[in-house]
Amino acid sequence: MIDSARFREVLGQYPTGVVIVTAMAEDGPVGMTVGSFTSVSLDPPMVAFLPAKSSSSWAALRDAGDHFTVNILASDQEDVCRLIAMRKTDKFKDVEWHESGLGNPIIQGAVAIIDCTRVAVHDAGDHEIVVGEVKALEVRSAEYPLLFFRGGYGSFKPASLAAAESDLMQHLGLVNLVRPSMERLAERFETEVTTNALVGRELALTASAGRSDARPVPTRVGMRLPFAPPAAAVFAAWGTQELRDLWISSVNRKVPRELLEEFKQVPDRVQKRGYAVTFGQHFLEVESLAAKTGQGALHAPSAELHAEMLRYASAYNPASVEFDGLRHVQFVSVPIFDGDKVAFQLTLWGPRKKVSQAELLNYVDALQEEAALASAAIQRVGERAQG
Ligand SMILES: Cc1cc2nc3c(=O)[nH]c(=O)nc-3n(C[C@H](O)[C@H](O)[C@H](O)COP(=O)(O)O)c2cc1C
């Protein structure tokens, strides 16, 4: 016989997120705090949650109609979690919300929302399994999610995340050797540090550590960008002539001739300088387009995306990087080597505020130092593998 205290204690070792499932009843919004939310099926897209049969909130959700909205709570929304979990009727009185596409409450500050139509309710002991087909979904904030673990609330702060796609597998073995460097840099400069690998003709974001205050969305690990000017200059700079040619030939033919001539200078310029740098703050626009057109990971980068990057070409690796006063630095990148090949482009993302030339050079020094350590670690593993 398994008593309920033991059941809770043991199952409490498994952390869950916290969502508020909402719907719109005739007399106003209804909602339920739920830890038992899970994704179910990709095709068709389905999710599920498990309400207690005895729950009056579940009865209200069910009676409100055949659709519901899942609000994934952020780590600073413990108060909303508690308000909605209370046994009372006017739960939404102190909660800020607006209507979703299906007319259900979207809670202000939720990390993501998922609009669903209820397609099945399965019996499961004293609970039910409610399955919803996803009609619309959206990430709304870069906050970390609220977690529930061992009976308490918490938040999750990854030291670094690594992409999990199959064609990145060979790179991921190596990226673990780079992660300590990324984490040190992210901590020291309180910003985001990422690594990109060249996968076929695309630049794939293999890992990320930390967060930059200049970015409302966290970097999407797995995101792909075209291996083409003005991006990814590090791979061209330290690459073979063949790779440089591939890089240049990836430019859309319609670019003005002067720009093409300018791009041809970039690999030598970057190699001599020892780092790639991009000024300004345009990249968020490129990224939000990448997210829109490709959902980051799964689709090839679009021509539209490349066109957007070309609009900002002058911000990338200009002939002179000397400046007085302060400037926005978008990112600074250096190579990490696997033998004589660039294994990764190690990138530090600049802060929201402008920085001085000395600060930029400080980033460069730190990046180069860590890149040397990471390259050495990769070399040691390579030597060991060869016996
Ligand atoms: C973090 C958290 C997770 C919860 N997860 C579930 C759940 O998965 N299923 C469920 O039936 N109740 C869950 N509850 C309880 C309900 O939110 C709610 O407190 C309970 O249903 C109150 O009873 P009522 O619905 O009759 O008002 C959870 C509560 C909290 C605080």
Which helix H or strand E contains 368, and what residues bound it? helix 357-385
In this structure, are residues 262 and 314 in contact, taking their beta carbons and an 8 Å threshold?
no
User: Which atom of ligand 1 is nearest the CA belonging to 85?
Assistant: 19
Cβ neighbors of 123 (< 8 A, separation 6 or more) are 129
In this structure, of 168-172, 212-216, 282-286, 346-350, the range with the lowest mean pLDDT score is 168-172
**Is 46 buried (19+), middle (13-18) or exposed (0-12) by CB count in 10 A?**
middle
Which value, to the nearest 10 degrees, does the dihedral of the CA atoms of residues 314, 320, 325, 331 take? 50
Which residue owns the Cα nearest ligand 1 atom 13?
34
Report the residue among 4, 16, 32, 70 best suited for mutation to probe ligand 1: largest number of ligand atoms under 8 A from its CB: 32
- Count the neighbouring beta carbons within 10 Å of the beta carbon of residue 107: 25
User: Phi-psi bin for 352: left (phi > 0), alpha (psi -120 to 50), beta?
Assistant: alpha
In this structure, are residues 135 and 101 in contact, taking their beta carbons and an 8 Å threshold?
yes
Burial 16-43 (b: 16+ CB within 10 A, else e): bbbbbbbbbeeeebbbbbbbebeeeeee
What is the mean pLDDT of the segment spanning 282-311? 63
Does pTM surpass 0.75? no
- Average predicted confidence (pLDDT) for the chain: 88
pLDDT digits (tens, 9 = 90+) for 70-105: 999 998 899 899 899 988 778 899 999 999 988 999
Percent of the chain whose pLDDT exceeds 70:
88
Per-residue pLDDT at 154: 82
Residues with CB under 6 Å of ligand 1 are: 18, 32-36, 50-52, 55-57, 81, 85, 87, 148
Q: Is the dihedral of CA 253, 260, 219, 159 positive or negative?
A: positive
How far is Cα 268 from Cα 257, in angstroms, rounded to an integer? 19
User: Which atom of ligand 1 is nearest the CA belonging to 37?
Assistant: 8
Query: Of 230, 229, 194, whose CA–CA distance to 345 is shortest?
Result: 194
How far is Cα 182 from Cα 366, in angstroms, rounded to an integer? 11
Q: Which residue type is seen at 227?
A: F
Report the residue among 7, 8, 56, 57 best suited for mutation to probe ligand 1: largest number of ligand atoms under 8 A from its CB: 57
How far is Cα 39 from Cα 196, in angstroms, rounded to an integer? 29
pLDDT digits (tens, 9 = 90+) for 246-271: 999 888 667 888 888 999 999 999 99
What is the mean pLDDT of the segment spanning 129-157? 87
As beta bridge partners, residue 196 has 205, 345
Report the residue among 16, 20, 34 best suited for mutation to probe ligand 1: largest number of ligand atoms under 8 A from its CB: 34
In this structure, of 183-197, 276-290, 314-328, 336-350, the range with the lowest mean pLDDT score is 276-290
Per-residue pLDDT at 160: 64
User: Which atom of ligand 1 is nearest the CA belonging to 86?
Assistant: 19
- Beta strand pairing call for 160-162 and 276-279: unpaired
- Beta strand pairing call for 193-199 and 160-162: unpaired
Ligand 1 center to 138 CA (angstroms): 24
In this structure, are residues 118 and 68 in contact, taking their beta carbons and an 8 Å threshold?
yes
Task: List the structure tokens of 211.
Answer: 């967060």
What is the mean pLDDT of the segment spanning 194-216? 84
How far is Cα 331 from Cα 360, in angstroms, rounded to an integer? 10
User: Which atom of ligand 1 is nearest the CA belonging to 60?
Assistant: 25
Ligand 1 center to 210 CA (angstroms): 33
Phi (first) and psi of residue 165, to 5 degrees: -110, 150
Cβ neighbors of 317 (< 8 A, separation 6 or more) are 230, 233, 266, 269, 270, 273, 276, 277, 278
Ligand 1 center to 149 CA (angstroms): 15
> Looking at the predicted structure, is the pLDDT value of residue 43 above 90?
yes
User: Which atom of ligand 1 is nearest the CA belonging to 59?
Assistant: 25
Per-residue pLDDT at 170: 64
Ligand 1 center to 230 CA (angstroms): 51
> Looking at the predicted structure, is the pLDDT value of residue 287 above 60?
yes
Task: List the structure tokens of 253.
Answer: 């033919």
Report the residue among 55, 90, 129 best suited for mutation to probe ligand 1: largest number of ligand atoms under 8 A from its CB: 55
Categorize the per-residue pLDDT at 297 as very low, low, confident or very high, splitting at 50, 70 and 90.
very low
What is the mean pLDDT of the segment spanning 184-205? 90
In this structure, are residues 257 and 280 in contact, taking their beta carbons and an 8 Å threshold?
no
Per-residue pLDDT at 39: 97
Task: List the structure tokens of 20.
Answer: 């508020």
Which residue owns the Cα nearest ligand 1 atom 29?
33
Q: Angle 25-30-34 (CA atoms, 0-180°, nearest 5)?
A: 140
Per the listing, tokens 């040397």 go with 372
Cβ neighbors of 65 (< 8 A, separation 6 or more) are 23, 24
